[in-house]
Amino acid sequence: MGLSSITNLKVRFQECDPMQIVWHGNYFKYFEEGREDFCKNNSISYLHAQQHGFATPIVKTECEHKLPLQYGDEFEVETTFINSEAAKMIFHYKIFSSKKLICTGSTTQVFTDKNSELVLTNPPFFLDWKKKMGLVK
């Protein structure tokens, strides 16, 4: 189970390519906007991580496209935090437009410390956040 948030966006002209559809790489901008919204709504941000001495680099991204978006289309990004025991932040995304599923995707972030070394256990600030959100006991 996870926590979710919804972000409403609209396709910008220059996000579309010569095929008249949103260029595939731009969906990661939409996912990011969904993720940032989620983090803001749930009081956990990359700035927050930085204050505790951690960076949260993305180590994996993926997207599966079902239908294209076109210029002017309005859509919503459903961002879901996937609760995992690993020292990772995993988000799943679904984009809908006119109630149709446009694409699904995911991103995985890890924690690195001030020496840019990978951290293998969950940082205390992250565990505290999980507790506050009722994701761990």
For position 64 contacting its own copies by CB under 8 A, the verdict is: yes
The CA distance from 5 to 35, in Å, is: 9
Q: Which of residues 102-131 bind its own copies (CB under 8 A)?
A: 107
Q: Which of residues 27-46 bind its own copies (CB under 8 A)?
A: 28-29, 32-33, 36, 46
Span of 55-63, 81-89, 92-100, 121-129 interacting with its own copies by CB under 8 A = 55-63
Among 3, 42, 48, 68, binds its own copies (CB under 8 A): 68
Cβ–Cβ under 8 Å, residues 119 and 87: yes
Q: Which residues pair with 22 in a beta bridge?
A: 16
Q: For the chain, state the CA radius of gyration.
A: 16
The CA distance from 30 to 11, in Å, is: 9
Q: Closest separation between CB of residue 68 and its own copies, Å?
A: 7
Span of 64-72, 80-88, 94-102, 121-129 interacting with its own copies by CB under 8 A = 64-72
- Binding footprint of its own copies, residue count (CB under 8 A): 32
Please report the beta strands in 1-137, taking only residues with DSSP state E, as ranges in sequence order. Answer: 2-10, 58-65, 74-82, 88-97, 100-110
Q: Closest separation between CB of residue 26 and its own copies, Å?
A: 7
Taking residue 117's Cβ as centre, other Cβ atoms within 10 Å add up to: 9
